Amino acid sequence: MTLVSARELVTDAATRGIGIGAFNVIHLETGEGLVRAAEAAQLPVILQISQNCADYHGGLEPISLATLAIARRASVPVAVHLDHAERPELVDEAVDLGFGSVMFDGGALPYDENVALTAAVVERAHRAGVFVEGELGEVGGKDGAHAPGVRTDPEEARAFVAATGVDALAVAVGSSHAMTDRTASLDLDLISRLRSALDVPLVLHGSSGVADDVIAQAVRAGMTKINVSTHLNGFFTRAVRERLDADERLVDSRKYLAPAREALASEAERMLQLFALEPAAG
C-alpha cells in the first residue's frame, strides 16, 4: 500500500459499482487528515491539488512534494491528482512531479477548443502513463451550474471521449462548486444515460452541495469519482473557530490545527464509507 494511480482506484470502483472519494488538499494538515481518514476506514482515497491551491502556495511543487510524501507513507492506497487545471503547462508540471492522474478543465471553453486542448494534453500525459480526466458541460459557480441548459449531453459526451481519449469525464448534472448547503438536485436520469453512453467512468464535481442520500443514488446511477472540498473545509474551519473562541490567549497554531485536522478526518472517513457502500444484490 502506498502511492498508486487514480487509474487503479477509479477503475476498481467503476467495476464494483461503488464510489471513490476524491478530496482536495488545501495545506499540509488537510492532506494528513485525509490520509488518516482513509487509514481509519481502511479504504483508498484520492488526494487532489487544484490549480487554485497551487497558486495559493506560489507554485505546484511545494504542496505537491508534501502531498506525495504523505501518500507514500500511507498504509492504504492513496492517489495524488491534479484538479481543475486550466493551464496545460500546469498539467505537464504535475506529470513531471510524479502525479498519476490529472484533470484538464476545458469545460468553460467552446466545444471545439475544449476538444483540441484536451486531446493534446491527453497525448502528452498518456506517453507518461498518466490517467486524464476531462470536463464537458461547465460545472461552475452556484448560479451557472443551475442555469437552464448547463448540462452534459450524452451524445456530445460520447463524441468528446472518442475525440480526446480521456480516461474519465467530469459531467454537469446539477451540482455546483463551493456550495455550503447540501441542497443541490442531481439529474439521476441524465447520469444513467451518460453512464450508458460512455465507456469511461463519470466524475461528480461540486459534491459538497449534495446530500448523502442523493450522492448514494448518484453512485447507483453511474457516478464513480466523487469530488468533495468545501464540505470538508467547513469541518476544519469550524473546529479552528471553536478552539480559538475557547481560549483567546492561544497562539500556538498546532493547538487549533490539530483538532481541525481531526474534525476533517472524522467526516472524510464517514464519506469514504458512504461512497464505498456496495450496491444491493438483485
Q: Three-state secondary structure along 184-252?
A: CCCCHHHHHHHHHHCCCCEEECCHHHCCHHHHHHHHHHCEEEEEECHHHHHHHHHHHHHHHHHCCCCCC
What's the rounded mean pLDDT across residues 181-197? 81
d(CA 77, CA 79): 7
Domains and CATH numbers, the chain: 3-275 (3.20.20.70)
Among 111-115, 188-192, 210-214, 244-248, which stretch is predicted with the lowest mean pLDDT? 210-214
β-bridge partners, 189: none
> One of 55, 83, 181, 213 is an active-site residue; which one?
83
> Residue 53: which residues within 8 A CB-CB, separation 6 or more?
24, 25, 26, 63
Residue pLDDT, tens place only, 80-107: 999 999 999 999 999 999 999 999 998 7
The gap from C-alpha 281 to its chain's centroid, in whole angstroms, comes to 28
pLDDT at residue 108, as a whole number? 79
Q: Is 83 a catalytic residue?
A: yes
Residue pLDDT, tens place only, 39-65: 999 999 999 999 999 999 999 999 999
> How far separated are the first and last CA of the chain, in Å rounded?
32
Among 146-150, 158-162, 196-200, 272-276, which stretch is predicted with the lowest mean pLDDT? 146-150
The gap from C-alpha 194 to its chain's centroid, in whole angstroms, comes to 19
The amino acid present at 105, given as its one-letter code, is D
Helices (H), 19-81: 28-41, 51-56, 60-72
78 φ/ψ angles, rounded to the nearest 5 degrees: -130, 130
149 pLDDT exceeds 60?
Answer: no
pLDDT at residue 237, as a whole number? 97
